[in-house]
Structure 1
Amino acid sequence: MTYQLYIGLDVGKGEHHATALLPDGTIVHDKPLAQSEPKLRDLFTDLIAQHGTGLVVVDQPKTIGALPVAVAKAVGLDVAYLPGLTMRRVADLHPGQAKTDARDAFIIADTARTMPHTLRSITVTEENIAELTMLCGFDDDLAAQATQVSNRLRGLLTQIHPALERVLGPHLDPKAVVDLLTRYPSPGALKTAGRGHVRARLKKLAPRLAPRLTEEIFEALAEQTVIVAGTGAAAKVIGRLAEQLTQLRRQRDDIAEEILAVVDAHPLSPVLMSMPGVGVRTTARLLTEVVGKTFKSAAHLASYAGIAPVTRQSGSSIRGKSASRRGNKILKRALSLSAVAALSDPASRAYYDRKRAQGKRHNQAVMALARRRSDVLFAMLRDGTFYESRPSRMALAA
């Protein structure tokens, strides 16, 4: 589509820089622009009145770029996104090496004018998708913090009592062990409490695990008779870390309920969750990363997710395919974890086993399965149909 105006926005937290170009490259506007709806609306309205239909291009469509995108759409302008890596490569083609907001805004506008194929479309997402994006982002932050705290807790246990860490470390995911450490945060406290109290504490949250784990704990405690320097201080920290880990997991549980409510309200969620290995969190990530975007083919979706192999060829010395290091990392992670979860499905397990028999390593076989499942996902989203396993389709054909 040909536009009468190309507006490049180098977005910032408090102030953007806007550069507007005519189709022949003439600069008609080149000024800073405040991050406020009235200022954005006034500029866009004036430019439309003077020059007609336009395209607004930003370098960040979310966070600090969300308001300009929303205002541009509200006044009737089309919007697009220029990825940062593409922008940096295009910037090398322009004279000068200065890094200024004005230069970046000009490059964005000029790229939109001369190389429209480098742009990515932006659709203003529906309300529940925007809500899911925020909730999932917060959930990711909580998960990262929980992992950090868990690793720190295991590190302290290893420092003061390695044998005890070997027993408790692998069981930090169940709530029972973390709860036990909030009450008895040191080897000495566990010994003083005795088998009965430890077993009773564990039984509250893990009745099946409690007897065996209690015996393993006291066997580990008997292996070490010396007290490592700093054990007293470590106990205080371990107790606090255990409490912090409990709070983080409680927050994740609360967020999961909120995510579930939003996911259930979306019409595509039953379609996505009909596929083996796709749960609430994976469905939420598929909705936030796929819905609202246009993919011409299943290969396009796989390439966008970074799970399509990349062909590398140079003369006769370099030939082959390797994993892509590009793509949407959030979507790639969701698809790969979903593929692992789907290994309990007979059809998915058979495909995985076939790839392993061909000599592929575990990670390679999982990514191959994720690639295959992305083709199915593309068809499901395109047609709005539920998942059907291959045996079911073969039975219908027969």
Structure 2
Amino acid sequence: MIYCGIDWAERHHDVALVNDAGRLVAKLRIDDTAAGYRTLLDVLAEHGDTGDSPIPVAIETSRGLLVATLRTGKRQVFAINPMAVARYRDRHGVSRKKSDPGDALVLANILRTDMVVHRPLPQDSDLAQAIAVLARAQQDAIWNRQQLSNQLRSLLREYYPAALEAFGVWQNGLCRPEARAVLAAAPTPSRAAGLSRAHLRSALRRAGRIRGIEAEADRMREIFRAAYAHQPPLVEDAFGKQMLALLLQLEAACTAADDLAKAVEEAFPQHPDADVILSFPGLGVQLGARVLAEIGDDRTRFADARGLKAYAGSAPITRASGKKHHVGRRRVKNDRLNHAGYLWAFAALTASPGAKAHYRHRRERGDWHSQAQRHLFNRMIGQLYHCLQRGELFDEQTGFPSLLAEAA
């Protein structure tokens, strides 16, 4: 049996192959190019790599063109956490030395000694991988949009409080197209005070607003013409230029988030698991796509529901030593899935009577809000695992039988 370890970098990758006895049988350095990938595959073939019996590979990343090339066929690719690699490195020497060829050898020996305790990358379908790319990009775009919105709000507080008052009554506030259109037309409070009703109506129409234009124009005109403290004129103009530059970034972030959301809405319903995921209360297209992106569609990825719960961070973890026994929340987890699970549990409170009863039951037992939410997510993701394995839709009576009876 031959095991392969790859220490990857931006421009080159170090490769080491070891046999069952731990003897180094081959080592090389390849470029991060198509020619380098072909060289790697040729070396693997020389040492017994075939389509039916491929050589397993350990690497410290789960993405990239190199990983995509290695995952063709039946080959098992193991993404080893760099922190775990650092612990294994200490087994081979106490001098704490480190080198790229040495790390490749450590990775190969990890598979030789402990391959059964590491999980290979899941064999997800191409559609599931495409949905994962879109869902994660859309989530990143939303986070980026919120960060830029917070920066813009902080800047407006320094010189333009009237804008915050005018847009504070709207949901999503500064991220709305109406707010961005008005700020582009009046970047400073002095210019905002000079806007007429016609200018405000025109800005609202350009942003796509259809109803309530007259009332909104009158309301904002009164706010902009009220008495506020002002910065000196030159300083105010400088703030206005800074705000316009930040507004351009926010405009791009909002456009990216909307475009990626449309792409997710087109791709997610095409997946066979979409009907099962959307049958759960609290899961819509966007949130359901995020859940699918993180758990994938490889049915053999998790041995049971407990493995999925641990991966999501909803299952508690026990630390016991002697007389000490502590049960707490899990910190090592998939952060994206855990974040989606919190939103899922929160939305399920209004969409499912059983979920609401479960949440109330946990609160009555003394759980804090986040603890009760995590407990609800832990229960529902276990039910999701069961439904996906059997191809069944969620049923409220089956999911929360006793709690629904008590609530009735």
The answer to whether TM tops 0.5 is yes
Q: Show the 5 A alignment for 1:79-158.
A: 79-95=77-93, 96-158=95-157
C-alpha displacement of 1:39: 1.0
Aligned identity (percent) is 25
Residue 54 of structure 1 aligns to a residue whose secondary structure is: coil
Cα pair distance change 1:360/1:78, threshold 3 Å? closer
CA contact (8 A) 1:5 1:21 kept: yes
Query: One-letter code of the match for 2:177?
Result: K
Query: One-letter code of the match for 1:336?
Result: Y
What is aligned with 2:310?
A: 303
Return 5+ residue gaps in structure 2 as ranges.
none
Return 5+ residue gaps in structure 1 as ranges.
none
CA contact (8 A) 1:190 1:198 kept: no
CA contact (8 A) 2:159 2:230 kept: no
C-alpha displacement of 1:334: 1.3
Matched, 1:277 2:282: yes
- Deviation per CA, 1:5-33, whole angstroms, max 9, x where unpaired? 11111122332111111111111112213
What is aligned with 1:178?
A: 180
- Deviation per CA, 1:264-302, whole angstroms, max 9, x where unpaired? 211111111111111222222222211226112211111
TM-score with structure 1 setting the length: 0.87
CA contact (8 A) 1:263 1:269 kept: yes
Distance 2:42 2:134 in 1: 33
Distance 2:278 2:336 in 1: 18
What is aligned with 1:43?
A: 43
Distance 1:199 1:391 in 2: 53
What is aligned with 2:236?
A: 231
Cα pair distance change 1:192/1:372, threshold 3 Å? same
Q: Show the 5 A alignment for 1:207-218.
A: 207-208=211-212, 211=215, 215=219, 218=222
Query: One-letter code of the match for 1:215?
Result: R
Distance 1:206 1:127 in 2: 41
Distance 2:213 2:107 in 1: 59
Cα pair distance change 1:358/1:68, threshold 3 Å? same
Cα pair distance change 1:54/1:155, threshold 3 Å? same
Residue 360 of structure 1 aligns to a residue whose secondary structure is: coil
Q: Which moved more, 1:77-86 or 1:154-163?
A: 77-86
Matched, 1:319 2:325: yes
Cα pair distance change 1:312/1:228, threshold 3 Å? farther
Cα pair distance change 1:367/1:394, threshold 3 Å? closer
C-alpha displacement of 1:199: 5.4
Query: One-letter code of the match for 1:365?
Result: A
What is aligned with 1:258?
A: 263
What is aligned with 1:193?
A: 195
Query: One-letter code of the match for 2:142?
Result: A
Residue 193 of structure 1 aligns to a residue whose secondary structure is: coil
CA RMSD of aligned residues (A): 2.9
Cα pair distance change 1:207/1:228, threshold 3 Å? farther
Aligned residue pairs, count: 389
Cα pair distance change 1:34/1:196, threshold 3 Å? closer
Residue 376 of structure 1 aligns to a residue whose secondary structure is: helix
Distance 1:105 1:234 in 2: 52
- Deviation per CA, 1:307-332, whole angstroms, max 9, x where unpaired? 2112233333x433221111111111
CA contact (8 A) 2:12 2:31 kept: yes
C-alpha displacement of 1:176: 2.0
Query: One-letter code of the match for 2:63?
Result: K
Q: Which moved more, 1:110-119 or 1:236-245?
A: 236-245
C-alpha displacement of 1:335: 1.3
Query: One-letter code of the match for 2:77?
Result: V
